[in-house]
Chains A and B, each alone.
Chain A
Amino acid sequence: MTAVWVLARSGYESRLQYTASHAARTVASIIFGMIYISIWQGIGEQHALQGYGREGMIAYMAFNQVILWLTVTTHGLGLEDRVRTGQIALDLVRPLHLFVFAAGKEAGSIAYNALFTAVPLYVLYTLLFGLPVPADPLIWLWTLPALLMAAYTAVCISYCIGVTALWTVESRWFSLLNYSLSFVLSGFLMPVAWMPGWLQTVSRLSPYPVFNDIPTRLYLGHAAPAALLAPALWCVLLSLACLAATSAVRRKVEVQGG
Chain B
Amino acid sequence: MAMLEATGLSKTFATAVPKAGKLREIRTLFSRERKLVTAVKSLDLSVAEGEFVGFIGPNGAGKSTTIKMLCGILHPSAGEVRIGGLSPQRDRRRVARDIGVVFGQRSQLFWDLPLKDSFDILAAIFRLGAAEKRRQLSKLEEVLQLREFWDTPVRRLSLGQRMRGDLAAALLHDPALLVLDEPTIGMDATAKRQIRDHLKLLNAEFGKTVLLTTHDMDDIETLCERVMVISRGELLYDGGLERLRARIGLPTTVRVTYARETKLTPGMRIGGGLSDAAGEVAVTDVQGREAAVSCNREHIGVMEVLRLLSEWGDIVDIRVEEPEFEDIVSRIY
Contacts and interface: CB of A to CB of B under 8 A. Distances in A.
Judge A-B direct contact (beta carbons within 8 Å).
yes
Interface of A: 12-13, 16-17, 19, 22, 116
B67 to A, nearest CB: 27
In order of increasing CB-CB distance, the 7 nearest A-B pairs are A16-B25, A19-B29, A16-B28, A19-B28, A16-B29, A22-B29, A116-B29
B152 interface: no
Interface residues of B, number: 7
Contacts of A19: 16, 28-31
Contact of A13 (B16, B25, B30, B31): B25
Which label, helix, strand, loop or mixed, suits the secondary structure of the A interface?
A: helix
Nearest to A16: B25
Interface string B14-51: 00101000000100111100000000000000000000
| Most chain B beta-carbon neighbours within 10 Å: one of A13, A19, A22 | A19
Contacts of A13: 25
Contacts of A22: 29
A106 B21 CA distance: 25
A13 B30 CA distance: 15
B14 to A, nearest CB: 13
B31 to A, nearest CB: 7
A16 B25 CA distance: 6
Contacts of B16: 19
Contacts of B28: 16-17, 19
A13 B28 CA distance: 11
B93 to A, nearest CB: 33
Nearest to A116: B29
A22 B25 CA distance: 13
14 contacts: A12-B25, A13-B25, A16-B25, A16-B28, A16-B29, A17-B18, A17-B28, A19-B16, A19-B28, A19-B29, A19-B30, A19-B31, A22-B29, A116-B29
Interface string B169-213: 000000000000000000000000000000000000000000000
A74 B158 CA distance: 34
B282 to A, nearest CB: 42
Contacts of B18: 17
Contacts of B30: 19
A19 B16 CA distance: 10
Nearest to B28: A16
Nearest to B18: A17
Contacts of A17: 18, 28
A167 B300 CA distance: 64
B91 to A, nearest CB: 34
Nearest to A12: B25
Given A17-B28, A22-B29, 5 more contacts: A13-B25, A16-B28, A16-B29, A19-B16, A19-B28
Contacts of B31: 19
A71 B18 CA distance: 29
A255 to B, nearest CB: 20
A12 B29 CA distance: 13
A85 to B, nearest CB: 15
| Most chain A beta-carbon neighbours within 10 Å: one of B18, B28, B29 | B29
B226 to A, nearest CB: 39
A1 B30 CA distance: 32
